[in-house]
Amino acid sequence: MLALEDVTVVRDGTTVLSGVSASFQAGRCTAVAGPSGAGKSTLLRLLDRLLEPASGQVLFHGRPLPSYDVLEVRRRVGLVQQAPVVLGVTVLADLRTGRPHLSPDEALALLSRAGLEVDLDRTTADLSGGEAQRLCLARALAVGPEVLLLDEPTSALDALAAQSVERVVRSLVAEGLSAVLVSHDLRQARRLADDVVVLAHGRVVEAGPASESDYLAGAS
């Protein structure tokens, strides 16, 4: 569904990714793992056209990503960031950011899908970190994406909230949604991922089924 072909990214004169080729299959969760500074978040931003490669290309369903309208890309490829970013004063207003005419019934269905049970008129400032992250998931789902990009989605949460978000991600993938998960937590990657792409020093050093990954096998 998504692929990088010989992609290099240079930022401020530093090569962040070098000759990276990787593929991300539909209906599966692919973890992007590796040490800090390996280029994981950079790779994720390429998939949503928040960054452009210096060379090589990013493909979506076999077509170069720039051949799509950027707004279409953002609808079909949703991004959930590391720290929850709420965009509306109330839960319903936040969900309507991408779909202004979202009905209350549709909003409640999205919240249920994201594992969140709160009133639509609840003020977003009153949400806990875990609730806010699940609201961000629901907002990303509101526009009907084919794939979710998840950038360390639980690193800012306590253990209980992180478990809740993990359950939501598992259920979404089970429903057929595709996910690309950046995680520094090897145990989390092993729990959630079907496949893994391991980066080190801006290069792919391992790719394949998560169950066969030597890198993830080191998770205790």
Q: In degrees rounded to 5, what are phi and psi of residue 117?
A: -120, 95
Evaluate whether 152 touches 122 at the Cβ level (below 8 Å). no
Digit-coded pLDDT (tens) for 81-134: 888 899 999 999 999 998 999 999 999 999 998 989 999 999 999 999 999 999
CATH architecture of 2-212: 3-Layer(aba) Sandwich (3.40)
The helix, strand and coil proportions of the chain, stated in percent and rounded to the nearest 5, come to: 35, 30, 35
**Strand duo 178-182 + 29-33: pairing:** parallel
Digit-coded pLDDT (tens) for 139-178: 999 999 999 999 998 887 888 888 888 999 999 999 999 9
Evaluate whether 191 touches 206 at the Cβ level (below 8 Å). no
> Which pTM does this prediction carry?
0.92
